[in-house]
């Protein structure tokens, strides 16, 4: 019975199914001196973030992943990315798009650490799993302190 239960709990969610993960943005793919766009345009914006996942709903806990964020939303300020824990609705990139987080224009850009990632040694992006996101992440409310 225990073996059956373990088998059921380790089955991963289908690749096209979204799920929630909680964590922090530790780096953003951009050129060193590049300013992220400040206004909204009619075209899709694509950002690639390196995220340290603190809460993962699946059995495996990868730690740091890449997330390609395609959206029409306004840009989240760097100051917010530097201090906020987020809830991300993501889905694993299908095999034919697994390299999408390291797109063709990535040669001119690298991952620039946020304040949350500056003190850590960031992994090689090519070694990380790629996830896709189209909904704006939401800030995790602060945990109330008790006295």
Specify the 3-state DSSP secondary structure of 2: helix
| Residue range 11-61, pLDDT digits in tens | 344 557 889 999 999 999 886 666 555 444 566 788 889 999 998 886 767
Domain residues of the chain, as ranges?
17-139
* Per-residue pLDDT at 77: 87
Quickly state the pLDDT bin for 107 (edges 50, 70, 90): low
Judge whether residue 6 has pLDDT over 50: no
Arithmetic mean of pLDDT over the chain: 77
CB under 8 Å to 42, separation ≥6 — which residues? 72
d(CA 30, CA 134): 19
Quickly state the pLDDT bin for 10 (edges 50, 70, 90): very low
d(CA 10, CA 42): 41
d(CA 122, CA 113): 8
Judge whether residue 3 has pLDDT over 60: no
CB under 8 Å to 15, separation ≥6 — which residues? 91, 92, 93, 94, 95
Among 19, 34, 31, 3, which residue's Cα sits nearest to residue 67?
Answer: 19
Region 103-130 average pLDDT: 82
């Amino acid at each position: 019975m225990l073996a059956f239960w373990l088998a059921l709990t380790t089955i991963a969610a289908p690749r096209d199914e979204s799920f929630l993960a909680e964590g922090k943005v530790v780096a953003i793919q951009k050129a060193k001196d590049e300013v992220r766009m400040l206004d909204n345009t009619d075209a899709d914006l694509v950002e690639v973030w390196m995220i340290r996942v603190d809460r993962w709903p699946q059995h495996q806990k990868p730690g740091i992943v890449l997330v390609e964020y395609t959206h029409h939303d306004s840009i989240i300020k760097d100051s917010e990315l530097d201090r906020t824990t987020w809830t991300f609705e993501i889905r694993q990139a299908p095999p034919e798009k697994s390299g999408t987080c390291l797109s063709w224009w990535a040669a001119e850009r690298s991952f620039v650490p946020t304040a949350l990632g500056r003190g850590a040694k960031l992994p090689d992006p090519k070694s990380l799993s790629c996830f896709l996101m189209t909904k704006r992440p939401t800030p995790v409310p602060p945990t109330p302190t008790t006295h």
